[in-house]
Amino acid sequence: MKLYNREYNEFQNDFEKMWEFIKNDYKDKKYFIWTLGRLGDWKFGIWNEKKYIPSFLSKNARLWFTSFHELVGFVISEEGDNAFCMFTKQGYEFLYEDIMNWVVENWKNRGTSIVTEVHEHQENYMRVLEDKGFVNNGLVAKTRKYNLQNKAMEEIILDSEFRIVDMKMNQDYKGKRLLQENAFRNDNDVTEISLLAYEYSRECPCYNPYFDLSVIDKEGVHVAGCCGFVDYENKFAEIERVCTHSEYRRRGFAEAVIRECFKRLTNNGFTYAYITGFNDGANHLYDKLGAVEQKNWYHYELPPMIGL
């Protein structure tokens, strides 16, 4: 079979090809790798200075095609660093080795080691990694699946002086960004470039301000939030950017806003939602929400003495 690979090219509609690839991954595999929200953030989530540079995308994605120009695999680095993720179309798992060889050869100088995340059902991926000398450093995250049909009637508990709003009606984007800066960066200020980055992130095709939710107090201050990124065709959603202001934690606000997102998704015909937790606090909360399935992610690293 004749295959070729090349760098990402914005002018050849490569993002649209990758988008359709991920969307079809839902249909073809029981255990798909990513949801659309994460791919959307690779392009539209310019949360570090490297991503301000127009060439960032082409330098951080490599695509594999058949001779008929069908996309059958790709590798990307989300932040332009030493971490990468590989994808292959079902039936093309043999590409893992070819893609891995390319990564080791071309991205080996990005840090003291090369790292990736692999979910527990990617046996072929893990086999190739281990054959290349990668070491499994253990659990790094958990992705939970929620049946939204079971969520429609669940109670949302919220103190009377607080309420939940969406960004479609509220449109206080500076207030929402201030919340995120505090929760994710421990910063209580928001710069113009941060607001511009937040504005650009909302161009992601799976963003809908109706599912971009906040708990606000009686003065309108955002104290907790989340965002549901939606795949309208497959009726899946990924709930991301779950956060609580440092002064309002352990009061149930994150749980309340997620449950409201569940309810809105259900009322709009979505069937499943996914949430990924990377720390004990987040995982404890997501366990309380009653997932029907869980997928474990493992951190693999190629030690410097082997890869470099």
How does pLDDT run across 142-184, given as a tens digit for each residue? 999 999 998 888 889 999 999 999 999 999 999 999 999 999 9
Domain assignment of residue 276, given as a range: 146-295
Number of domains within the chain: 2
Rounded distance between C-alpha atoms, residue 71 and residue 13, angstroms: 12
- Do residues 239 and 165 both lie within one domain? yes
Considering the domain architecture, whether residues 156 and 117 belong to the same structural domain is answered as no
If asked whether residues 94 and 194 sit together in one domain, one would say no
Q: Is the domain of 98 the same as that of 153? A: no
Model pLDDT for residues 30-65, shown as the tens digit of each residue: 788 898 999 999 999 998 899 999 999 999 999 999
State whether 126 and 221 are in the same domain: no
Q: Report the length, in residues, of the chain.
A: 308
Instruction: Tell me: do 184 and 75 sit in the same domain.
Output: no
- pLDDT band, residue 306 (cuts 50/70/90): low
| Residue 173 sits in the same domain as residue 290 | yes
Q: What is the pLDDT of residue 31?
A: 80
Question: Would you say residue 307 has pLDDT above 80?
Answer: no
* For residue 305, pLDDT beyond 60: no
Same domain, 247 and 116: no
Residue 153: Cβ within 10 Å count? 8
Contacts of 159 (CB under 8 A, 6+ apart): 251
